[in-house]
Structure 1
Amino acid sequence: MKIILAGEGAIGRKHIAALQRIDDVEVVAIVGGLADDTEAFADEFGIERWTTDLAEALALDADAAILATPTQMHAAQAIQTMRAGKHVLVEIPMADNLADSSELVRTQQETGVTAMVCHTRRFNPSHQWMHDRISRGELTLQHLVVETYFFRRENRNAMGKPRTWTDHLLWHHSCHTVDLFGYQTGEPITAGWAQQGPTHPELGIAMDMTIGMSVPSGALCTLSLSFN
C-alpha cells in the first residue's frame, strides 16, 4: 500500500514510526506546513518526495493519505483527499464544528472511499482487554473516570518545539475519551455537559475543563482535563 503522510510534527512522527513497522507499506510523500521542516522530515525518514501542497501529493500514485495536520485543516483536507479518490485516516478531531463534520461524512458516502478518524485509544492493549470482557458479559462498565493532565505554559508540541497552532483540551484530548466511552459501552452517548475554566491570556485556550456523559443503560463518564 502506498501512503501519503501529511504533517511533519510530533504526531506525524508517531505515524511514520508505525508505518515503517508494517510490511508492504510505502510512504510515497510527506506533506508539511513548513518547507524546511518538511524537507528535513523527508531526509530523516527516507521519503523520496516532500511538498507543502496536498494537491500535489494527491496527484501521485497512492492508495491513501494520513492527515496529522492542524485541527482547522482536518475537514477540508479529508474532503479534498476523498474527492481525489484516496482513502483517508484523519487525526482527531475530524472537524471543529458540526457543519464540517457533516460535510465530511456526506463526502465519504458520495465517494465510497474509506474514511477513518484516528481514535487510537480503543486499540490500547489494556482497553482491548477490558472491551473483550465487557463484550462477553464478564464485566459491566458502570462509570468511566478519566483524568488527562499536562503542565503547559508555552505553545510547544510533544517534542518541545514551537507550534504554529494551539493545542486544545476539548479537541485534542477529550475526543479520545468520548470515543472510548461509546466504544466500551457499545451505546450512543445521549447526554452530556461540559464546563471550562479561565482562558490563558497568551495561549487563548481554557486551561481546565470537566465533562460528564451518559448512555441509555445509565453508565456514566466523568472526564477531568487540565493544562495546569
Structure 2
Amino acid sequence: MTINIGVIGAGKIVRVRHLPEIQSNPLARIAAICDVVEARAKEMALEYDCKAYFDYQQMLLDPGIDAVIVAATNTTHAEMSIAALQAGKHVLCEKPMATSLSDARKMLDAAKATGKQLMIAQNQRLEPAHVKAREIIQSGELGKILSFTTIFGHPGCEYWAIDGKNTWFFRSEIAGMGVLGDLAVHKLDLMRFLLDDDYTSASATIDTLAKAFPDGTPITVEDNAICTMQTAKGALGSVITSWTYQVELNRTSIYGEKGVMEIYSDPEFPLIVQKSPETGTYFRLGKKSTNIEQVKSGIIDAFVNAIDEGTDVPIPGIEGYKALEALMACYQSAKSGKRVKIGT
C-alpha cells in the first residue's frame, strides 16, 4: 500500500524536513503540494514531480490523496486540519496545533467524528536522546523528579524563513503567537513526555527585546519568554526560549532525588546521567537537529507507519492540546502578572 500525501505549505520546514522525509519513506509518495504563493508551489511540484495547488480546498477534493500535512501559518492550522479530516484524509499538523484551545478542541472533535488520524509534529519526542531519557526516568533510576530547566533559543526566524525579516512568524495577525508558539511549545510538550506528567500551573514573563521589521519597527509578537511550571507529581521547572541567542541552544537538565540528567549539554554525549560528582554514565545517541544541520526527525515515518499498520499515531491530537493548554496558560500569566492554574 502506498500512502499518497498532500502537503499544505511550501516554506522552509516543508523543504528541509517534510518533503525529503516523505521521499525517503518507501510506503509514502508526495502526491501534491499547495501554497498560496504560486511560484513556490510550482517550484516544489516540479522538483518532486507532483501536482501543484494554490487553494488547499481544491487539493482536498483529490480522491487520490490519503493524508495531508498542514504546514502553513499558525492561524490556519485548525481550519485546514478540520477541512482535511472532514474530507477523509489523515492529518499531520505542525506545531502549535492551533492558536486557541477552542480551535484545538474542534480539531479533536473532527478527528473523532471522522475516524481519521490526527498527529501533531512535536518531533523532539522522537529524538534518540529523549527516548532514552524517558526510559531512564520512568525506570525510577533518578528517583522522584524534583526540578528541571529546559532551554531552546536561536538567532531568530529571519535566518531560517524564506521571507527573512518579513517572515510571517513576526506578525501577530498571522502567527498568533511568537517564540512561545515556535519554540516553547516544543519544550512544554517534551517535558510532559519525559516526565510522564501534566502541568498544574504556570507563570511567565514575555517581551520583545530585539527583533524588528526591516523598517526598524518592533515585531508584533514576543521574541523572549521565561516560564516556570509546576507538575502534578510535584516537580518545578523553567522553560526558557528566545529568538535572540546568537548561538543556538537546545538542552535540558533534570534533577532527581538520586541523580542529575543532562540532555544535549555535551556535543559528544547527548545524554549524561550522574549520581555523584565523580561518576556518570555517558550515552552516544546520535545528533540532534539544528537550524544549521537537519537530522531526520522520524515524524513522517511515525505518521506513515501508523496509517499503514492501522495503529494509533504516537503523538495524537490530545498531546498537542495538552502542550497548547500549558502554552495558553503562560500567555495568560504574562498578561495578568499572576500564576495561572492549568487543567481546572
1:176 equivalent in structure 2: 186
- The amino acid across from 2:151 in the alignment is E
2:195 equivalent in structure 1: 185
Mapped partners of 1:159, 1:111: distance in 2: 34
Mapped partners of 2:49, 2:159: distance in 1: 22
Pairing 1:120–2:130 present = no
Equivalent residues of 1:194, 1:209 under 8 A apart: yes
Mapped partners of 1:208, 1:156: distance in 2: 15
Pairing 1:205–2:207 present = no
Aligned pairs (5 A) from 1:207-226 = 207-226=223-242
Mapped partners of 1:158, 1:197: distance in 2: 21
Mapped partners of 1:223, 1:79: distance in 2: 30
- The alpha-carbon distance between structure 1 residues 110 and 71, as it changes in their structure 2 partners (threshold 3 A), is same
Mapped partners of 1:157, 1:73: distance in 2: 23
Pairing 1:150–2:160 present = no
1:80 equivalent in structure 2: 83
Q: Determine which of 6, 9, 23 is the counterpart of 1:4.
A: 6
Q: Determine which of 44, 55, 58 is the counterpart of 1:56.
A: 58
Mapped partners of 1:160, 1:5: distance in 2: 17
Structure with max Cα Rg: 2
- The alpha-carbon distance between structure 1 residues 160 and 7, as it changes in their structure 2 partners (threshold 3 A), is closer
Secondary structure of 1:101's aligned partner: helix
- The alpha-carbon distance between structure 1 residues 157 and 78, as it changes in their structure 2 partners (threshold 3 A), is farther
1:39 equivalent in structure 2: 42
Mapped partners of 1:147, 1:224: distance in 2: 5
Higher RCO by CA contacts (8 Å cutoff, separation 6 or greater): 2
Mapped partners of 1:118, 1:221: distance in 2: 23
Mapped partners of 2:118, 2:36: distance in 1: 22
Compare 11-20 and 69-78 and name the one that shifted more.
11-20
Q: With structure 1 as the length reference, what TM-score do the two structures score? A: 0.92
Percent identical among aligned pairs is 24
- The alpha-carbon distance between structure 1 residues 68 and 157, as it changes in their structure 2 partners (threshold 3 A), is farther
Compare 113-122 and 140-149 and name the one that shifted more.
140-149
Superposition deviation, residue 149 in structure 1: 1.8
- The amino acid across from 1:213 in the alignment is M
- The amino acid across from 1:3 in the alignment is I
- The amino acid across from 1:143 in the alignment is S
Pairing 1:100–2:103 present = yes
Secondary structure of 2:199's aligned partner: coil
Mapped partners of 1:147, 1:164: distance in 2: 23
Mapped partners of 1:226, 1:48: distance in 2: 37
- The amino acid across from 2:154 in the alignment is F
Superposition deviation, residue 138 in structure 1: 2.3
Mapped partners of 1:2, 1:109: distance in 2: 22
Mapped partners of 1:40, 1:108: distance in 2: 32
Equivalent residues of 2:73, 2:168 under 8 A apart: yes
Secondary structure of 2:24's aligned partner: coil
